Structure 1
Amino acid sequence: MPRKGKKNPDRPLVIENDQVVSLYFDARGVQSTMFRHDPYALALGYTRTMMGFLLLRPSPSRVSMIGLGGGSLAKYCYRHLPDTTITAVEINPDVIALRDRFHVPRDDGRFTVVCVDGAQYVAVPNHRPDVLLVDGFNADGLPARLGSSRFYEACRRRLSDEGVLVANLVTDEPDFHRYLRSLWEVFAGAVALAPSEGSEHNVTVFAWKGAGGLPAFTAMLDRAHALQARYAVNLHATAKRIEYGKRFNWSRYGQTG
């Protein structure tokens, strides 16, 4: 709880103009942006890269996401994955209170927004998403509890047998390499990186369960071609970003990539 007389650092601020509506916690960086002319579009490049999970799991039955923000990923999945049940988890009630302003859909039979700590959410045994998106930043960056080994272990347990974890990380955070090390260890090396579109510092991390592993580059390109008519994101570009990420030097963690 903030001290008396101090501003709440996690109270969201909405800044808008004729083209966009954006969510901030402070002046250091935008948390979410919505185009006025197309509220369901993915305006920020890193969110488009996170949708690269379609190259691994093109038809998920359940998608859960930790961090609602302006609802960009939640809205996109709701519109473009009509057969998927979606749960968006957000710890900050002030953020959820802005859902109408950002055109986040009302709760219904396949879409729900819940106000709870994401670390607590993944600890509940009955959650079995095929895809789990983690983008739970606050004014200070990624909370340590959402980058710990314990958290990633809980995520892996709760994923379905062929499930995929997709995490948005920022390379200039002091604990970035610790988060990567934890992901590598928890998922036993079943991890791929992709530099996020339109961002110098954002990296999208894909980690998966099951024996399927990461598809070959040619297979991802074929899948991107097959899916391009259904999704307004450039999955070809994301496949190339994932392929580029194979150059990451995992040996710094005593591992080989």
Structure 2
Amino acid sequence: MTHKLGTAGAALIKKWEGCEKKRADGRFDAYPDPGSKDGKPWTIGWGSTGPDVKPGTIWTQAQCDARFDVDIVKYVEDVAMFLGAAPTTQAQFDALVSFHYNTGAIASATLGQMHKAGRFDDAADQFARWIYNDGKPMNGLKSRRADEAALYESAVPSCVKQPLPIATADVRVVNAGSGLNVRIGPSTGAAKLGALKRGAAVTVLEDTGDWVRITYQGRAAWVNDQFLTAA
């Protein structure tokens, strides 16, 4: 099945990316990521980033539109390749492309795995997990994820109505040489519960993008995902 981004998906992405920051002369300035500590990645137009986007970059509307048309091709191809032959409606595909355009996580997210397993209700619930930037919940991301989930749930493949297989466990391994701190919440400011040694395997129960929820000594806990590798 050949997937293409639909009009609803393109409109949703552009709604939330916006075409920022417009100057008095009608052109657009590059701007820092509002949720990151160092401002990276610098962004312009419809959420475009890259080595050519940096402080002082200025584009016309035509340049912003043309770059979006180029950039979106990769995200559409990524999602289509990941899904393979998994039953997927146009609405679901559009929502997943919007999610991937914003997070780049279609292949690693529990959301994607649940969709491929046909667990559409569970997959829809996963959108709300991805609301964090640099460990902090963002109101804009909450609203975007709600829109993506609504689009995703607007249609369900008719061929998937029977009991469905359960997705395989998301097991990851600690790759930090000095070990990995385990905390009570998804933030470096949250209290520390303990630490995991390099090579320790954990089962991910929730993935917010920067942090994942696990069970540690019988209680809910969080670790930073950048120090984990898929098992």
Q: What range describes the TM-score normalised by the shorter chain of this pair? A: under 0.3
Higher helix share: 2
Q: Which structure would you say has the larger RCO, counting Cα contacts within 8 Å and 6 or more residues apart?
A: 1
Larger gyration radius, structure 1 or structure 2: 2
TM-score by length of 1: 0.26
